[in-house]
Amino acid sequence: MSGNIWDVIIIGAGGAGLMCAGVAAQRGRRVLVLDHAKAPGEKIRISGGGRCNFTNLHCGPGNFLSDNPRFCISALRGYTQNDFIAMVERYGIAFHEKTLGQLFCDESANQITQMLLDECRAAEIRLGTQIKGIEKTDDEFRVSSDKGTFTCASLVIATGGKSIPKMGATGFGYEIAKQFGLGIIEPRPGLVPLVFADDLRARFKPLAGVSVDAIVSCGKAQFREGLLFTHKGLSGPSILQISSYWREGQEIEVNLAPDADALDVLKNARRDHPKQGLATPLATILPKRLADTLVETVDWKTLKPVVRLADASDKHLGLLADAVNRWRVKPIGTEGYRIAEVTLGGVDTKELSSKTMEAVKVPGLYFIGEAVDVTGYLGGHNFQWAWSSGFAAGQAV
| Per-residue pLDDT tens digits for 252-290 | 999 999 999 999 999 999 999 999 999 999 999 999 999
Confidence band (pLDDT; 50, 70, 90) for 169? Answer: confident
Please give the DSSP secondary-structure letter assigned to residue 359: B
- DSSP characters for 100-151? TTEEEESS-THHHHHHHHHHTTTSEEE-S--EEEEEE-SS-EEEEETTEEEE
Q: pLDDT tens digit string along 180-234? A: 999 999 999 999 999 999 999 999 999 999 999 999 999 999 999 999 999 999 9
Q: pLDDT tens digit string along 1-16? A: 446 999 999 999 999 9
pLDDT-above-90 percentage for the chain:
96
Q: pLDDT tens digit string along 136-152? A: 998 899 999 999 999 99
Mean pLDDT of the chain: 96
Confidence band (pLDDT; 50, 70, 90) for 168? Answer: confident
- Provide the pLDDT for residue 2: 47
Helical ranges in the chain per DSSP H: 15-26, 42-46, 73-78, 81-90, 110-119, 172-179, 198-204, 237-243, 262-272, 279-282, 288-297, 314-325, 381-396
- Provide the pLDDT for residue 104: 98
Enumerate the β-bridge partners of residue 119: none
Q: Which residue ranges form the domains of the chain, and what is each CATH number?
A: 5-187+343-396 (3.50.50.60), 194-257 (2.40.30.10), 262-328 (1.10.8.260)
- Provide the pLDDT for residue 165: 85
Nearest Cα to 254, choosing from 244, 242, 263? 242
Q: What is the spatial distance between Cα 224 and Cα 349, in angstroms, rounded to a whole number?
A: 30
Nearest Cα to 122, choosing from 44, 13, 18, 45? 18
**Cβ–Cβ under 8 Å, residues 239 and 227:** yes
Contacts for 273 with CB less than 8 Å, ≥ 6 apart: 280, 281, 309
Q: pLDDT tens digit string along 10-43? A: 999 999 999 999 999 999 999 999 999 999 999 9
Please state, as a whole number, how many other Cβ atoms lie within 10 Å of the Cβ of residue 32: 24
Q: pLDDT tens digit string along 156-167? A: 999 999 888 888
Given a cut of 70, whether residue 361 has pLDDT beyond it is yes
Burial of 91 (0-12, 13-18, 19+ CB in 10 A): middle
- Provide the pLDDT for residue 166: 81
Q: pLDDT tens digit string along 303-330? A: 999 999 999 999 999 999 999 999 999 9
Compute CA distances 58 → 55, 100, 220, 265, whole Å. 9, 8, 21, 36
Q: pLDDT tens digit string along 85-141? A: 999 999 999 999 999 999 999 999 999 999 999 999 999 999 999 999 999 998 899
